[in-house]
């Protein structure tokens, strides 16, 4: 598995963070907040696979282009950046030694937490 950091997705996530388009939820909330397969398919049908890709920090170029299976490490629900998705992804990236993705997710988590603490 040759998963690499999707730089376009990281740029998109940073933009969401900068604009405050985020949900500062808890670690275990991702199982409830993650889009279902049907929601993913509907999003792709409406917006296309390129837009879908921007919501995933991992990309496996060995997988076919134009497929959902090429993308991994989602960080949001197609509307907002989710803290719970970032935490979940960071843990998985570390577990599977995807250092560049883990680093990007740590950066996003730090930004979310700083933005939240500044807003309180």
Please report which confidence band the pLDDT of residue 51 belongs to, taking 50, 70 and 90 as the band edges.
Answer: very high
Residue 31 per-residue DSSP state: H
Give the C-alpha separation, 69 to 38, whole Å: 15
Domain extent for 99? 4-118
Residue 72 per-residue DSSP state: E
Q: With a cut of 80, say whether residue 40 has pLDDT above it.
A: yes
Exposure string over 21-41, b if 16+ CB within 10 A, otherwise e = ebbebeeebbeebbbeeeebe
The total number of structural domains that make up the chain: 1
pLDDT at 18: 97
**Mean pLDDT in residue range 1-22:** 95
Give the C-alpha separation, 72 to 76, whole Å: 12
């Amino acid at each position: 598995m040759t998963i690499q950091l999707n730089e376009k997705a990281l740029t998109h996530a940073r933009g969401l963070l900068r604009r405050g388009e985020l949900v500062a939820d808890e670690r275990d909330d991702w199982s409830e907040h993650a889009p279902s397969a049907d929601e993913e398919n509907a999003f792709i049908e409406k917006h296309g696979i390129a837009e879908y890709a921007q919501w995933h920090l991992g990309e496996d170029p060995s997988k076919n282009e134009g497929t959902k299976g090429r993308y991994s490490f989602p960080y949001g629900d197609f509307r907002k950046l989710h803290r719970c998705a970032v935490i979940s992804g960071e843990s998985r990236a570390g577990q599977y030694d995807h250092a560049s993705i883990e680093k990007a997710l740590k950066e996003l988590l730090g930004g979310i937490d700083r933005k939240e603490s500044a807003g309180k």
